[in-house]
Amino acid sequence: MKFEYFISLPNEIIDKIWNLLDDLTMLLTNKSNYIKYHGILHQYISTNVRYSYYRNVIRNDDCFVLNCLLSEFGKTWCYKNKYVYKKNIYSSYYDFLLDYAIRCNSNKCRKEMIEYGEKTGLGLNLHKKNRIRSIIWTN
């Protein structure tokens, strides 16, 4: 549907259409609605698809969505649970996402994650920590 046709509708009809939309559709309309409704998105996404959603956010360099995700899940991502991805073992899911942002050249997301790390104290002496281990066999 073309946006010009939607704008040409009277305000009464637009208000009625707006009231008929569910929360999941409202999530996609603008930033303020995303902030308001982004918590319900995780009810509709399974765990495996959720991880690919996080990777897709970083791959597309969408720093606004990543900032909302960091505010909601940042502390749980920083726990020392090992995460395995493509023959590498990461010390936490946060470290994986930071490395994934570097590999995908997502500079906005990388900057956002570094700022979150500095704000929470994770970024202290980050260059000294061994966060990635390879599980490829060598002879």
Is pLDDT of 86 > 80?
yes
Percent of the chain scored above 90 by pLDDT?
5
pLDDT for the residue 59: 92
Q: Report the run of H or E that residue 119 belongs to, with start and end.
A: helix 107-120
Angle at which helix 47-59 crosses helix 93-103, to 10 degrees, equals: 40
Question: CA 116, CA 14: separation in Å to the nearest integer?
Answer: 39
In this structure, what token pair is assigned to residue 36? 């308001």
- Predicted confidence band of residue 85 (pLDDT cuts 50, 70, 90): confident
Please report, for the chain, the start and end positions of each structural domain, with discontinuous segments joined by +. 13-42, 45-134
Rama region for 50: left / alpha / beta (φ>0; ψ in -120 to 50; rest): alpha
What are 128-138's pLDDT values in tens digits?
555 666 666 66
The predicted structure's pLDDT at residue 58: 92
pLDDT tops 70 at residue 78: yes
Contact indicator for 27, 33 with CB cutoff of 8 Å: yes
Is 124 or 105 the better-scoring residue by pLDDT?
A: 105
Task: Give yes or no for residue 124 having a pLDDT over 60.
Answer: no
The mean pLDDT value for 9-35 works out to 80
pLDDT of 43-76, one tens digit each?
A: 888 878 888 888 899 999 988 989 888 888 888 8
The whole-angstrom separation of Cα 90 and Cα 110 is: 17
Q: Would you say the pTM of this structure is higher than 0.95? A: no
